[in-house]
Amino acid sequence: MFSEEHNRYVLLQRDIRNPWLCDKKTVALLGCLMLPVTFFCATYVILFGICDELGYPRPQFDGFNAIEILERNQLRAELYSNTHAHGNYSEIPEEIPKDIHIHHADYTPEKLKLICYYNFPSNDFSLKINEIDPNLCTHLNLAFASVVNHSIYLDEEHLGYLTNIIPLKEKNQYLKILLSIGGAGNNNGYPEMVKNHTNRKTFIQSVLNYVKDYKIDGVDLDWEFPGENSADHYQKMHFTQLLSEIRKTINKQPKYKFLLTVAVAAPNEIIDVAYDVSYMNEYVDFINLMSYDYHYYTKITPFTGINSPLYQASNEKFYLSTLNINYSSHYWNYLGMDKSKIVVGLPTYGHTFKLTNSENHGLYAPALGFGHLGSLGFASYSTICTFLQGNHISPIFDMDTFSPYAVKYYEWISFDDQQSLTYKAEYIKSNNFGGAMVYSLNADDYKGDCDMGTSSGIKFPLITAIKNVFDG
């Protein structure tokens, strides 16, 4: 009737439970003994949770920290980091300086630009438009619109933000406001749009409509990245054609002149695939060089590293020695982009790593994953500052890369502070680049809550540090 398999399970004919469990007095005594143990464990868990919350502040989900924004930024960070594994290093051309000492410039040909990205608000914790200082930045890039049906697309809510941000120009007549289109993980519309002249014409007309209808000062094209992981080998050429056609349209406009800028990659592996630099130089007003996310945890790169190093670290060789601001900015210049058109990107956020061994915590120390702080390996400056202050941590300043990092047990954090950004702003100024681009307003300490060093009570302390150098 039953299979051999069923016969393995035999019904017990007698109760073989320990008889002492059936004794009520014994059970009561056992309960009394377990009560203090249970109380101790519960108290420990509660206290540990509170201490953990104090040690690792809960990130505010503003426009920068919103999950969808983080996931998009993660795509770029992973792409940058994974170029380590297959980067082809060639000897740095002699025209690219390997070591430039920082000094104050005696002469700057024109006013340095300070481009600030502002992410659309996503919830009640977000940086509000009325909290933005209109005199802090020279340009505001409102991020991000999409490309849908070969045209710029913003939903009604985001169109409202665009409308509400324009009046900031009434408080600063020199402020330029641009609409940034695309962004990491938001580039699906670009490949089809650039494919032919008809599609590009439709897009350009939508640009003109936005310039006229919403009184913006230009557009920032953030396609990450032409030709990357695509079977279409003509994307590089088609993107260049788009820039050419937009420039021709601008030149034909008697009244509606507007700025054309492009957010571009920093690693030379991507630059070579994505851009015709010498042609771009003819068409764009300037580029926003995304010189951050050089080092980020992935399974291919399971080690710590500086988010936005100014120079290479002393132990970096071959391709790794190219992953820094100095190399990337000069590489763009070497390929044909005027220095005055290279706007160097600086982050107001950091990257976190979980160390494999808390005793091994230098640069390129083995890591198991993202750190606990922030989310997905990203943490805003205000979150990092609160963490450092609350745990009485003194950051380590690496004099090779002119960048700080901090360590607590297994937590490893690369970030920028006022000191490092002052050095980097001086570097930009002394080398006659076009200025600095900051990503983003949202990730800076815009409420002035940080009470560490010279930033006590200062709103937007990181961006202010850059501005002070440029204005000095």
pLDDT digits (tens, 9 = 90+) for 349-382: 999 999 999 999 999 999 999 999 999 999 999 9
Instruction: Kindly state the average pLDDT of the residues 67-92.
Output: 69
Q: Assess contact for 139 and 175: CB atoms under 8 A.
A: yes
Question: In terms of Cα–Cα distance, which of 190, 181, 184, 169 is closest to 219?
Answer: 181
Domain that holds residue 194: 105-471
Q: Whole-angstrom Cα distance, residue 164 to residue 184?
A: 25
Residue 27 belongs to a domain: no
Mean pLDDT of the region 15-34: 49
The number of distinct structural domains making up the chain is 1
| Residue 19, pLDDT above cutoff 60 | no
Report pLDDT for 87: 55
Is 316 tagged catalytic? no
The verdict on residue 8 lying in a domain is no
For residue 136 the two structure tokens come to 């802090």
Question: Could you tell me if residue 190 is inside a domain?
Answer: yes
- 208-234 pLDDT, tens per residue? 999 999 999 999 999 999 998 888 889
pLDDT tens sequence across 278-317: 999 999 999 999 999 999 999 999 999 999 999 999 999 9
pLDDT (0 to 100) of residue 124: 82
Q: Which among 466, 440, 428 has a CA at the least distance from the CA of 73?
A: 440
Does residue 390 belong to any structural domain of this protein?
yes
227 is written with which tokens? 């030709």
The CATH code of the domain that includes 256 is 3.20.20.80
Q: pLDDT above 90 covers what percent of the chain?
A: 72
Q: Look at residue 464 and tell me if it is in a domain.
A: yes
In the prediction, which pLDDT does 27 show?
43
pLDDT at 437: 99
- Take residue 440 and report the two structure tokens written for it: 């983003």
- Residue 191: per-residue pLDDT: 97
In a domain, 78, yes or no: no
Residue 16 lies in a domain: no
Higher-confidence residue of 127 and 6: namely 127
CA–CA distance, 282 with 263 (Å, rounded to integer): 16
Asked, for residue 71, whether it belongs to a domain, the answer is: no
pTM of the entire predicted model: 0.85
**According to the model, what pLDDT value does residue 47 have?**
37
- Does 163 score more than 70 pLDDT? yes
Contacts of 267 (CB under 8 A, 6+ apart): 80, 83, 87, 294, 322, 323, 328
Q: Which of 224, 316, 411, 426 is catalytic?
A: 224
Is the predicted pLDDT of residue 84 greater than 70, yes or no?
Answer: no
Mean pLDDT of 439-453: 90
- Are the CB atoms for 336 and 278 separated by under 8 Å? yes
